[in-house]
Structures are given as C-alpha cells and as structure tokens.
Amino acid sequence: MTASLALSSIPSASDIPRQVWERLAPAGDPFLNADFLTILERHGAAAAASGWTPCHLLASDAVGRVVGLLPLYGKRHSHGDFIYDWAWAAAWRQVGRAYYPKLMSCLPHTPVGGPRLLVADGASAPAVRQVLLAGAKALVGRLGASSWHVALPTDEEAEWLQGEDLLLSDDVQFHWLDPGWSDFDGYLASFSAAKRRKVRAERRRVAESGLLLETRHGDQVEPAEWPLLHALYASTFERFNNHAAFSANCFADLALALGQRMVVFIARAQRVPVAVAICFRSDEALFGRYWGCSGNHPGLHFELCFHQGIEYCLRHGLRRFEPGAGGEHKLARGFQPTVVRSAHWIANPGMRRLLARHLALQKEAVVDYRGAAAAHLPFRRDATGQQEH
C-alpha cells in the first residue's frame, strides 16, 4: 500500500460523513450520495439480515482526509445485484467450491451504471484507485470470498479494471436517447408510420380509460400515501413469488431525502392509486423503475413506465432514460439496445480461466443479440439517410 495512504473498512454508509459523499460522488447523483445507501441499509434492503453486509472501503491521506471511497457489500446470494451469476455459483458447486460469500460494488436493487471507485481529482488519484483495488482484493481473501464484482461501472473504469486483471462481462439494456426532439409528437415523428400509429393507439386507450395520471416528485408525496403505493409495488413481486426489497417506510424516507431526485408516476381510478412507477433522476438522465399495478388496465404499464418517462425527459431537458434491466418490449417504444459491462475479480486461478472462456463466448453472443435487437427499433429513414430500423 502507498505509504501516505491509509485504508479502512466502514460497516455502514451512515458512518461516512456527508461531506465525503459531496466531495467524491458526482453532483446530483440520486444514488451515490449520503442518503440512498444509508436509507437502504437502515431499512434492511441492503443489510446483513437480507444477505448484504456493508464493508465500504475508505482511503485517507496522511492528514486523515478521505480521498477515495469504494461502496462494497459482502453477499450470500445473487439477488438484486444484476450481474446474473447464478450459473457461476452452480459451476463452483460442481467442482466442490463455495461461490458465496462474494463481494459486490454496486447499487443494491438498482441496475444503473455509474462510477464505482469514487476518487478525488488530483495527482494522487491513480494511487488512490490502486489502494482501493488492492483493498477489495485483500478483503476477498480475509473473508474467504470467491470473488469481487463491480456492477455496471463507467466505460473508463471497466477498461482500467480489465487492465488490473478483472474479467469483463457484457449485457444489454435498453436506453432512450434524445438527440434533440422538442416534444413527444416530435419524437413519434421519427417512427415509421405503422409504429407511430401503434403507440398513439396504445396511449389513446389509456387516455380514454378514465384513469387520472399524475407526475410528482418525492417531496410532493405525503408519507401517509406510501403504504398504498408500496402495496402496488409489492403486489408485482408477490405475483411472481419474489421478494419486494423496499418497505413503505424505506420509500417514504427516500422521497423525503431525495426530493426532486425521485420522480413518481401514479395512475388513479376515482382517486385511488391503481398503478405506480417510481423513478429517480440526475441532471442528465431519468432512471427507473419500481413498478406496481392492481387490476387489468390495457396499455397502462407502457404508459406509466415508458411514455410518461419520455415526456418527463423532454419537458425537463434530460437526454437519457434508463428504465431498468431487460425487456425487449422496450424496443417498440424506441429504447435502443445498449451494451453495458461489469467487472469480476476471481480469486481462484482455475475458476478464473474457466470463466474467462465463458465470457469470451458470451461477448460474441451479446454483440449478435444487440445487432438483432436493433433491427426491431421503430425509427424511419430520416433526411440524413440513416437506415430505417
């Protein structure tokens, strides 16, 4: 370790001073701040009882000033981290090894990319990154973990981590990108005629249903409203025999802390909420979403989760909308297949070689899939001669 830098492991995000987050994290980020991880940990969504053990790493200089932060969790399962490694755990079992615990640098239950090694600018930044990297690898050994994973880092971080012997995995998400449309009608004008008619008919069904749609920010939702909104969110998980990680109180605290950084799309029937899509925003992008619905409302999922979000972006000057993981149905609404990457430090050399071969094949498959998916985008040939998708 660099002599002038000290490394410490912090058992709770709440123990990291707010000024550290403000100095090291991107300004306006709805997830990398003093509130998001703290609230998730406090309400059990990212806590030891739910299989997430916080062990965040801080790097400090000779005078004790924190110059680097690596959010980090020990995990005993693969739920909510979005690296899709269940098959890897099975491979470890087949050779008589334990895959869990593993270490994760990620946003719990949130498939959003961004910086993962938060380092102060300056001449010492490369040394700080090296200290955080070495600390994560050492912690793998001390905890008897199989691996350390960095979910959805920036492209620059992914390239750097690959150079530090981490393996890269590829996946596809569907992102909406705005090249400068003025409004939703302008956006639809870029669609082929048939695709445009389909979206308009879809939206018309919702408009004629009698449902009232509203968009509110977190600080505009009263705490007493969250139990009903949460019940909608939780019902989606219950239908698929899955677990809803966030509680109503967790959402209420996030809304209070994040304010304008939380965006809530609500559909009501006779004043009663029947559907909700909970999103978050930075100064550049909208991120989604936690969805829930009661009853059968044709087209409402697409309206609340996608069309309302696009309109919000156009109104507020946001150039990107990332509505969550998966979902080929997003293609028909103009969300473009986008390759995202994660990085993986595998402690055992033999398992690392095995996984490297697997990921090389996966990378080829992802490239092919992205190309095939892009062929189903709804856009027409424009005046610049761009190929119609």
- Give the whole-angstrom CA distance, residue 60 versus residue 135: 13
Give pLDDT, residue 2.
Answer: 54
- Give the whole-angstrom CA distance, residue 115 versus residue 138: 21
Q: Spell out the long-range contacts of 18-25 with Cβ–Cβ below 8 A and sequence spacing 24 or more.
A: 20/58, 20/66, 20/69, 21/69, 23/66, 23/120, 24/66, 24/67, 24/68, 24/69, 24/118, 24/119, 24/120, 25/69, 25/115, 25/118
Task: Delimit the domains of the chain by residue range.
Answer: 6-172+339-374, 179-318
Give pLDDT, residue 242.
Answer: 83
Which among 36, 118, 70 is positioned nearest to 282, based on CA atoms? 36
Architecture of domain 6-172+339-374: 3-Layer(aba) Sandwich (3.40)
Give pLDDT, residue 236.
Answer: 86
Pick the CATH number of 179-318 from 3.90.650.10, 3.30.390.30, 3.40.630.30, 3.40.50.300: 3.40.630.30
Give me the tens of pLDDT residue by residue for the chain, a chain 389 residues long. 455 899 999 999 999 999 999 999 999 999 999 999 999 999 999 999 999 999 999 999 999 999 999 999 999 999 999 999 999 999 999 999 999 999 999 999 999 999 999 999 999 999 999 999 999 999 999 999 999 999 999 999 999 999 999 999 999 999 999 999 999 999 999 999 999 999 999 999 999 999 999 999 999 999 999 999 999 999 988 887 888 999 999 999 999 999 999 999 999 999 999 999 999 999 999 999 899 999 899 999 999 999 999 999 999 999 999 999 888 999 999 999 999 999 999 999 999 999 999 999 999 999 999 999 999 999 997 532 343 33
Specify burial of residue 7 (Cβ count, 10 A radius: 0-12, 13-18, 19+).
Answer: buried
Residue type for position 76:
R
Give pLDDT, residue 3.
Answer: 57
DSSP-H helix ranges across the chain = 18-24, 36-42, 86-94, 125-143, 155-163, 184-188, 193-207, 226-239, 248-258, 300-302, 308-316, 349-374
Same CATH topology for 6-172+339-374 and 179-318? Answer: yes
Q: Which two tokens stand for residue 155?
A: 């492209």
- Give the whole-angstrom CA distance, residue 107 versus residue 236: 21
Q: Is the whole-model pTM more than 0.85? A: yes
Give pLDDT, residue 316.
Answer: 97
Say whether 43 sits in a helix, a strand or coil: coil
Specify burial of residue 134 (Cβ count, 10 A radius: 0-12, 13-18, 19+).
Answer: middle
Give pLDDT, residue 44.
Answer: 97
- Give the whole-angstrom CA distance, residue 162 versus residue 168: 7
- Give the whole-angstrom CA distance, residue 355 versus residue 350: 9
Give pLDDT, residue 327.
Answer: 86
Give pLDDT, residue 382.
Answer: 59
Identify the DSSP state of 368. H
Say whether 28 sits in a helix, a strand or coil: coil
Sheet holding 212-217, edge to edge: 52-54, 73-75, 102-105, 147-150, 336-346, 167-177, 320-322, 285-293, 272-281, 262-269, 212-217
Q: Which two tokens stand for residue 3?
A: 């002599």
Q: Which two tokens stand for residue 349?
A: 């050399």
